[in-house]
């Protein structure tokens, strides 16, 4: 999906570059929007998620409450044969894998860690862009209701989240000149992951 949060994306382009939520408003009197990456039906009630509708990290009134999440989750569940799920965010130059809601290593973490390191090595080879690798919990911070934790818990082993360029100098306002190079280097990492998935079907 080119954009999983179209309303939020438009708002970030026209009003607030740091906006991260959708634009859901029917159920909330004070503030607008839900952080879709905390709305998935996995560890939803964890204290790592905010229940304040005015927080930029608001998890929503219930798991999969948002139409954007509900439709993707239903599509994947009904399809039943996904082998990889890759989520793209910005920014920080990270490649992460489950878990986000707990410090424990996932059963496939050794394989996922090696694959992620191979992927960022390929990414680095083009322009020298350095990425950090690790679980969400240990690389950034604890979070419940995340996209790739849901994917992993629902049988998709190769679940990753990219946090694309940069590391903070430009933040969410990445210069236009960096957009194509970011895509080019990221594609090299994706090739590594996709080839591995193809050769290690389960």
Closest by Cα among 37, 182, 201, 196 to 113? 196
Q: What is the spatial order of strands in the sheet that 84-90 belongs to?
A: 84-90, 158-164, 94-97, 132-135
Could you give the domains of the chain? 6-199 (3.40.630.10)
Q: pLDDT below 50 — which residues of the chain?
A: none
Task: Tell me the C-alpha distance between 66 and 35, whole Å.
Answer: 9
pLDDT at 162: 98
Which of 66, 68, 163, 185 is an active site residue?
163
Q: Chain-wide mean pLDDT for the chain?
A: 95
Q: What is the pLDDT of residue 26?
A: 66
| 0.75 exceeded by pTM | yes
Give the pLDDT score at 28: 60
Question: Are the CB atoms for 70 and 4 separated by under 8 Å?
Answer: no
Radius of gyration, alpha carbons of the chain: 17
Catalytic, 70? Answer no
pLDDT value of residue 94:
98
């Amino acid at each position: 999906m080119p954009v999983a949060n179209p309303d939020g994306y438009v708002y970030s382009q026209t009003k607030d570059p740091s906006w991260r939520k959708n634009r859901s408003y029917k159920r909330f009197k004070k503030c607008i929007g839900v952080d879709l990456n905390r709305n998935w039906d996995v560890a939803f009630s964890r204290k790592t998620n905010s229940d304040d509708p005015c927080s930029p990290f608001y998890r929503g009134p219930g798991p999969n409450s948002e139409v954007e999440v509900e439709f993707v989750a239903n599509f994947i569940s009904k399809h039943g044969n996904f082998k990889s799920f890759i989520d793209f965010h910005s920014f920080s130059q990270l490649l992460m894998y489950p878990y986000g809601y707990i410090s424990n290593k996932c059963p496939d973490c050794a394989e996922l860690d090696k694959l992620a390191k191979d992927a960022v090595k390929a990414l680095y080879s083009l322009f020298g862009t350095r990425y950090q690798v690790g679980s969400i919990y240990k690389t950034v911070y604890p979070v419940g209701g995340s996209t790739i934790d849901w994917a992993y818990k629902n049988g998709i082993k190769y679940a990753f989240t990219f946090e694309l360029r940069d590391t903070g100098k430009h933040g969410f306002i990445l210069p236009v000149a960096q957009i194509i190079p970011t895509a080019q280097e990221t594609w090299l990492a994706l090739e590594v992951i996709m080839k591995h998935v193809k050769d290690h079907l389960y």
